[in-house]
Amino acid sequence: MNDIPRQPRDQALDAALDSALRRELHAPELPAGFRERLRAAIVRAPQLDHARLRRELEREQREAMAALREGYVRMSREVFAALVCVAVVFGAAAATWLPELAKRLDLDMGQLVALACVVGAVAYAVWVARRPLVGRIMRWIA
């Protein structure tokens, strides 16, 4: 076992163990008559039915796709629910702070709502289109 990394505490024990294992762990011989039984099993074995195999693979693929689709739908619902929650929280916050904000920015309520709509639309566009839109905006700015 020269090619195995060792850090033996006891080289003598290591060497003795190696020799003992060499003596005790013999490769098992094939059982008597193995080849004959194998030949008989091969004769009995049905040839692979390719059409059946294809049908099974297609069924497995359909099941996998259905599972993926189900996961996607569930995730979409969860994202939608999260968005609704966030919108409600923002709405509540806006209702509370909007008059104060309008006073500080010296804007009337109509201007503030218009500004909020623009910011919301940009945020939504970024969310939906992500990088392509950001890239287009950056190119437009440049």
Partner 1 sequence: MDGSVQPVSAARERDRDILGLLAEGRQEPAFALVLDRYERKVYRLCVAMLRDPDQAADAAQDSLVRIWQALGRFDERAALSTWIYTITRNRCLSAIERRRDHASLSDEAVADEVEARTADRAGAEPDDRGALLRDYVAALPERYRRPLLLYYFEGCAVDEVASLLGVAENTVKTWLHRARAMLQERLVGAGLGDPALWLEELA
Q: Which residues bind partner 1 (CB under 8 A)?
A: 1, 3-6, 8-10, 12-28, 30-31, 34-35, 37-38, 41-42, 45, 47-48
Q: How far apart are CA 8 and CA 16, in angstroms?
A: 12
Please choose, from the candidates 27, 6, 36, the residue with its C-alpha nearest in 3D space to the C-alpha of residue 18: 6
For partner 1, the closer of residues 13 and 134 by Cβ is 13
Phi first, then psi: what are they for 6, rounded to 5°? -135, 145
Tell the smallest beta-carbon distance from residue 44 to partner 1 (Å).
9
Tell the smallest beta-carbon distance from residue 123 to partner 1 (Å).
45
Question: What's the start-to-end Cα distance of the chain, in Å?
Answer: 67
For partner 1, the closer of residues 23 and 139 by Cβ is 23
For partner 1, the closer of residues 6 and 131 by Cβ is 6
Tell the smallest beta-carbon distance from residue 61 to partner 1 (Å).
19
For partner 1, the closer of residues 14 and 116 by Cβ is 14
CA distances from 37 to 20, 28, 48, 64 (A): 35, 18, 20, 38
Strand, coil or helix: what is 47?
A: coil
Tell the smallest beta-carbon distance from residue 130 to partner 1 (Å).
35
